[in-house]
Amino acid sequence: MMWKGPNRKSNQKLKILDSGSLVQKFRPMVQYIGAQTVHIVGDSLGWEIPPNNSVSYTNWAAGKSFMVGDILVFNFMTNQHDLLRVPKASYDGCSDDNAIGSAITTGPANVTLDSAGEHYYICTFGRHCQAGQKLAITVSGTPGANPPTSSPPTTPTTPSPTSSQPDACAPTPSSAPNAGEPVAAPPPAGTPPPPYSSSTFVFTSFLPALLSIGAALVI
């Protein structure tokens, strides 16, 4: 019996399935990359001492939208400039105090905006910062993120009425006699005792005869 090699059609199906799964796997990454914006700082000027002091970088940043995930490209010559992110106080004073991270000394430098808020960058070479080689931008939140929606207020639920068992019938107190109805009067104090019973009557009628017989025997 001859051995047959792998089916060519099956291999083609596997390749199609593999390519389809790869597309599905990398689609979110492609969408995220497509949402990023690359900003060339200073455009053709690059990252160097501007001819009009800081006005050049201020004008360049004006009207631009910077989002988390965007990339800033600082084009400069290595050993002639550097790049350092600093807080606002250090930006205003052209100082490297309280620097955020380390200085980037190799150009060009790509910086990914990883947080929203104010971002400040300076060049620490000589008096480059004082001459206007500094940049301030405002970064907004993640692109495409929907604002948080407040959940609708919950309506308090009314408890369903519970069927209570009727209480056991309590004895009803005797009602007071109505006005005008006759009321049984208590018996008078001198009421005679009830009449004798039949046995008592028989004994009483034979008592005189017994006394007479007893007297005769004594005599």
Taking the mean position of all CA atoms in its chain, how far away is CA 185? Answer: 80
Higher per-residue confidence, 133 vs 157? 133
Give Cα separations from 107 to 69, 91, 177 (angstroms).
Answer: 20, 21, 114
Task: State pLDDT tens for residues 23-64.
Answer: 355 444 444 445 689 999 999 999 999 987 667 899 999 989
Percent of the chain with pLDDT over 70: 47
Which pLDDT score, from 0 to 100, does residue 83 have? 98
The model carries a pTM of 0.52
Q: Is 14 helix (H, G, I), strand (E, B) or coil?
A: helix
Task: State pLDDT tens for residues 208-217.
Answer: 555 666 555 5
Rounded-to-10 torsion of CA 196, 198, 202, 204: 0
Using the 8-state DSSP alphabet, how is residue 43 labeled? G
Which pLDDT score, from 0 to 100, does residue 28 have? 44
Q: Which residues pair with residue 140 across a beta bridge? A: 67
Domains and CATH numbers, the chain: 38-140 (2.60.40.420)
| pLDDT, mean of residues 124-151 | 79
Which residues, 6 or more positions from 119, have their beta carbon under 8 angstroms from its beta carbon? 66, 85, 113, 136, 137, 138, 139
C-beta of residue 67 within 8 angstroms of C-beta of residue 142: yes
Percent of the chain with pLDDT over 90: 44
Give Cα separations from 194 to 63, 77, 186, 191 (angstroms).
Answer: 125, 141, 16, 9
* 120 vs 138: CA distance, rounded Å: 9
> Residue 22: what residue type?
L
- Tally helices (H) and strands (E) across the chain: 4, 7
Which pLDDT score, from 0 to 100, does residue 127 have? 95
Which pLDDT score, from 0 to 100, does residue 159 have? 55
Which pLDDT score, from 0 to 100, does residue 155 have? 54
Higher per-residue confidence, 185 vs 82? 82
Higher per-residue confidence, 212 vs 192? 212
